[in-house]
Chain A
Amino acid sequence: MTGRLLRLAAPALPRVCAAAAVAVGAELASIGLTATAAWLISRAAQQPPIAALGLAIVGVRALALVRGPLRYADRLLGHDAVLAAVADLRARVFAALVPLAPHGSSVFRGGDLLTRFVDDVDAVHDLLLRCLVPAAAAAAVGTAATAATAAVLPAAGAVLAAGLLAAAAACAPSALAGRRGPRRAAARGAFADAAADLVRGAADLEVLGAADAAVRRAERAEREATRLELRADRAAGAASAAVLLLQGLTAVAVAGLALRARQDGGLDPVLPAVLAVTALAAFEPAAALPAAARRFGELSEGAARLAAVLDAPAPVTEPPGPGPEPLGSGVEVRGLRARYGPGRPWALDGLDLRLEPGTTTALAGASGSGKSTLVDVLLRFLDYEDGSVRLGGAELRGVPGDRVRRTVAGLTRHDRLLHSSVRDNLLLARPEAGAGELRRAAARVRLLAWIEALPQGWDTVLGEDGAAMSGGQRRRLLLARALLADPQVLVLDEPTEGLDAATAEEVLGDVLGAARGRTVLLVSHHPAALAAADKVAVITEGGVRPAEV
């Protein structure tokens, strides 16, 4: 599954490889430094003329100077390349998400699912920087050290290669332990759920007498999660210890072979020390492998989740061509059946409804009766399986969704405010709107005075989904945005929810006044909405037909 993540990140790979090359350079400088120093000392022990040491002295000093800056460059280049990969991946994932909004994925519901999704996308950071680059560096450095050793003493090269390969193999269980993440994630999730219930549902639990049981449940979940965590930790710890052991034993074996070769007269006496420190240093990059392997295993779960999101079928099939052009703003719904996925219960089962051009139709009915489903169908956020929906005479199924939404827009239950300024949030609906239009839209929802009294006025940043506003203010700003879009068919799903009775009445009056001449579908059971509409239709739960009231 991580392969999929890697393919998604493919455009960034050349830069990542460049960074990895610098990392290899830094590690080779490190090996070169100790090897040259060992050569210098061994050679000096033979007490040659000082000129024989000149090059080695220069080499030691130069390598000592070079290694730090190389490592610094490697860190910077690596982070820069990987952050560029994250930027690219985010943009492409976002483009892939567009056809899925809002019903093709649960990430649009926000909360933990969204946080996890963003983490899954950003995991490409760890995949490249914490897994791929260390693995590539370890492989390149190991190969170079092995080749150099083999050139001097083939048997020692073979031992070093075997030791390094064994170290890499020792990391495999760590990757597998990381991959067993789903069980760990489930256990962690069980504790998080139990803890959230104890915090947010404390009053309900205490009065029900169920708090003791909930605490015990949280405790059991925590102990189970810890048990599984420790098991995964043990695998990574064992791999680290194995790498350390192999490092020591390989260096000893290389030293032994080199000393025997020197005894037999086949090797310069200066070289055994050089080969031994080279073997020790060749293992340094491998020390990062157990952690990299574990992280690699852990990433497979998130990569699979990400693939599932990206591969989800779009909830609406777009027509192949531009399709018929809607002429006018009348809407005619006949025998409409729609549901949120195959096998789910029908959310609308045979609805008939006419929205006459230029009139306001109020749609009432119990929660769960399918009012919002109709809004989803009209905005082409949901396909319909049976029946017909005609917008200006054109069958909705044959018109591209974006074209439909140029005519049909408004306020839906999916709407959110962005974490940007008041002005930007309104301009979203019509980027070319002037200051006067913004003010008029805000005044109609009784929000102008509040906006102008804000410390930064129209430039005030609203926080996540308007976190700094009350529910009523948030609803009114969303309503102002819908008005500013000024579509031919204005759809308003529960526009007065969260407003007190007096404000609701005033705002409704003004909004409907502003939309005069437009075709309006007003989903509400507010008495003022029913009174102001030209026509009232009622959907009944389970059943269907809207009755004229």
Chain B
Amino acid sequence: MDTAGDVRRRLARELPQARRLSSAAARLALVATAATVARSGLLAAALAAGFGGGPPERTAGLLLGAGAAAAVQAAAARAHTALSERAAAAARTGLRLRLLEHARRLGPVRLQNLRGGDLSTLLTRGTDALGPYYTGYLPAAAAARTAPVAVLAVLALADWPSALAVALTLPLIPVFGALVGAHTRDRTARQWDLLSRLGGHFADTVAGLPSLRAFGRAGQRSRAVRAMADRYRGATMRVLRTAFLSSLVLELVATLSVALVAVPLGLRLLSGGADLSTALLVLFLAPEAYLPLRALGAAYHDSAEGTAAARRAFAVLDTPVPEGGGFARPPHPAPGDGGPAVLLDGASARYPGAQAPALDGVDLRIDPGERVALVGPSGAGKSTLLALVLGLLPPERGRVAVAGDTAWVPQRPHLFAGTVEENIRLARPGATGAEVREAARAAEAHGFISRLPDGYATALGDEGFGLSSGQRRRIALARAFLSGAPVLVLDEPTAHLDPRSEAQVVAAIERLSAGRTVVAATHRSAPLQGMDRVVTAGGAR
């Protein structure tokens, strides 16, 4: 496991644009510190001069200078924030696009092993956590490294006893912060499980409301919702009581140090051991020495969440990519092969991470226009053979060749976010609306699509309309019609369908098979009608 420091260094290395922007921001933070020192110094000098009844032109000049310093300070802060935000945006976008690119190179089969939900979350909310890391933590860390030292140097030049007092109390902040942090970390971690379970209760109960209502339990659950939320509150407050202790300590150190500096200064002024201008400067500047350290303590969470997100992203990026990529269409058959549409020549295949090959030395030759049914018990390698033909899995040994593009009807075709029409058109982006409808008619899909709320314009996907298995497959069949690909690959096209849907899918397949080469994996008899040849998987050798 990499340490947080390793992850931070790797972020800097792998996202150079974000690093350049954030180091520019860090340099501007120095300008802002200098402007703050100047503003305080000039204001202190003006007040001291006016106190002694100095010439009004002199105080006015000093005040004008302080105003100018305030303007520089604001401008530097503005630019600093803008650069940090651009760094955050560059980091988010950069990491997201790299993750997408890597996912693409991994290919669909390896992507499945990564658990898609996690990767989707990482691509959105997960990488969002990099924002506060770049806009909160990195600037605070940069300021904490430079500003206290710079302020301390100015203090030392102006008044060394005060500088000494600040220098002695300043280290207490990280020391106490670490002590309180170490004390509360275990306790917080123990509460975390409970917190996330209590926090999820509301969503779970809302999702279960139809069941609760069906059994007449909805009324009493409203009380349970309040009770659980109150338990959540109790558990959270237990965590916060200790978590806020560290901020309490940091603030106490910072405010007490003001008293620690101001009271002796007053006494020295009394005895003539200091002048007013210096004393006011010290009073204005001392808090500025503590501020960056307190800000860094507050940004601790930004850092932890940002590095956690980056660590997850790097784990994905470190997944090895197979040679030639995870997806590669099989080549055309060689001139000497005798013109088959599909050829498997001693092909073996193994799923990533699997011990045994899923297919071992398979020979299969399908002529153009031939329709082949692939039968056999589950686990015999029917789906693996289809994956080889489609290019989803590269052959480990032997050779796979396919003449031309393939059209595919998987068991559960993916519905993309978009309208029904866009989902079909995916197979041929240039197709007209009429061509899309014609393909849908041929796939027996036009009828149900017309009955959808918005017909072909109905939105599908996560937040859109759900379709049944049979309807999904007819969408995929419409895609196949539209693509015009000469080789048609069907994976259990009628599994889990009711008799009527099955009849529609079979009719569409018969229409689609005309003039095409077909490979269909199946364990049902319906799609076998009209097949030219039945091949038993495991016996394909």
Contacts and interface: CB of A to CB of B under 8 A. Distances in A.
Interface of A: 30, 33-34, 37-38, 40-45, 47-48, 50, 53, 56-57, 60-61, 63-65, 67-69, 71-72, 75-76, 79-80, 83-84, 86-88, 90-91, 94-95, 97-98, 101-102, 106-108, 110-115, 117-118, 121, 188, 191-211, 213, 215, 218-219, 222-223, 226, 229-230, 233-234, 237-238, 240-242, 244-245, 247-249, 251-252, 255-256, 258-260, 262-263, 269, 272-273, 276-277, 344-345, 364-368, 379, 381, 402, 405-406, 409, 412, 414-419, 428-429, 431, 464-465, 481, 485, 525, 541-542
Contact of B210 (A64, A366, A409, A412): A412
Contact of A41 (B70, B89, B197, B262): B262
A263 B221 contact: no
A350 B216 CA distance: 30
Given A191-B124, A203-B410, A252-B66, A37 B258 contact: yes
Nearest to A84: B233
A80 B237 contact: yes
Given A114-B203, A222-B97, A405-B216, A108 B78 contact: no
A66 to B, nearest CB: 9
Interface string B218-237: 11011101100110110011
Contacts of B103: 198-199, 202
Given A238-B78, A248-B73, A464 B391 contact: no
A34 B443 CA distance: 79
B180 interface: no
B251 interface: yes
Tell me the interface secondary structure of chain A in the complex: helix
Nearest to B211: A415
A226 B93 contact: yes
Interface in B232-256: 232-233, 236-237, 240-241, 244-245, 247-248, 251-252, 255-256
Nearest to B496: A497
B364 to A, nearest CB: 19
A84 B227 CA distance: 11
Contacts of A251: 43, 66, 70
B236 A79 contact: yes
Contacts of B405: 209
A505 B295 CA distance: 66
A83 B232 CA distance: 8
A72 to B, nearest CB: 4
Contact of B81 (A33, A40, A194, A240): A240
Given A40-B263, A80-B233, A237-B82, A206 B391 contact: yes
A429 B211 CA distance: 9
21 contacts: A33-B255, A48-B270, A72-B248, A91-B229, A94-B205, A101-B210, A101-B212, A107-B206, A201-B414, A202-B107, A207-B407, A211-B327, A226-B89, A248-B66, A248-B71, A248-B74, A255-B66, A272-B51, A367-B470, A368-B451, A381-B214
B74 A242 contact: yes
Interface string B315-344: 000000000000100000000000000000
A244 B73 contact: yes
Given A240-B81, A367-B498, 11 more contacts: A64-B256, A101-B218, A188-B124, A198-B100, A237-B78, A241-B74, A248-B71, A252-B66, A258-B50, A419-B201, A485-B215
Contact of B426 (A84, A210, A255, A366): A210
A41 B479 contact: no
Contacts of A45: 51, 269, 275-276, 279
A248 B269 contact: no
B371 interface: no
Lowest 6 CB-CB distances: which A-B pairs, in order? A248-B70, A87-B229, A201-B414, A193-B417, A241-B78, A102-B210
Interface in B128-181: none
Tell me the interface secondary structure of chain B in the complex: helix
Given A72-B247, A241-B77, A252 B63 contact: yes
Given A75-B240, A87-B232, A199-B123, A47 B263 contact: no
A11 to B, nearest CB: 12
A63 to B, nearest CB: 8
Max count, chain A CB within 10 A of own CB: residue among B75, B200, B276, B426: B426
A221 B213 CA distance: 40
A199 B413 contact: no
A51 B162 CA distance: 23
A426 to B, nearest CB: 11
Contacts of A56: 266
A213 B233 CA distance: 47
A210 B405 CA distance: 13
Interface in B429-472: 429, 448, 451, 453, 461-463, 468, 470-471
Contacts of A91: 222-223, 225-226, 229
Max count, chain A CB within 10 A of own CB: residue among B78, B103, B107, B405: B78
B59 interface: yes
B297 to A, nearest CB: 13
Nearest to A245: B74
A199 B116 contact: yes
A307 to B, nearest CB: 17
Given A68-B251, A94-B206, A230-B86, A206 B107 contact: yes
A368 B465 CA distance: 13
A203 B471 CA distance: 19
B70 A213 contact: no
A57 B258 CA distance: 12
B406 interface: yes
Interface in B249-290: 251-252, 255-256, 258-259, 262-263, 265-267, 269-270, 272, 275-276, 279-280, 283-284
B314 interface: no
Contacts of A240: 77-78, 81
Contacts of A262: 50-51
A263 B70 contact: no
Contacts of A84: 230, 233
A202 B111 contact: yes
Interface in B78-105: 78, 81-82, 85-86, 89, 92-93, 96-97, 100-101, 103-104
A196 B124 CA distance: 9
Nearest to A107: B206
A256 B247 contact: no
Contact of A196 (B120, B241, B280, B392): B120
A260 B55 CA distance: 11
Nearest to B197: A419
Nearest to A197: B416
Contacts of A196: 116, 120, 417, 462
A112 B229 contact: no
A207 B85 CA distance: 39
Given A108-B207, A115-B203, A210-B426, A219 B97 contact: yes
Nearest to A96: B222
Contact of B100 (A195, A209, A249, A272): A195
Contacts of B208: 416-418
Contact of A419 (B124, B200, B213, B229): B200
B82 A234 contact: yes
Contacts of B71: 245, 248-249
B352 interface: no
Contacts of B514: none
A263 B276 contact: no
Contacts of B81: 233, 237, 240-241
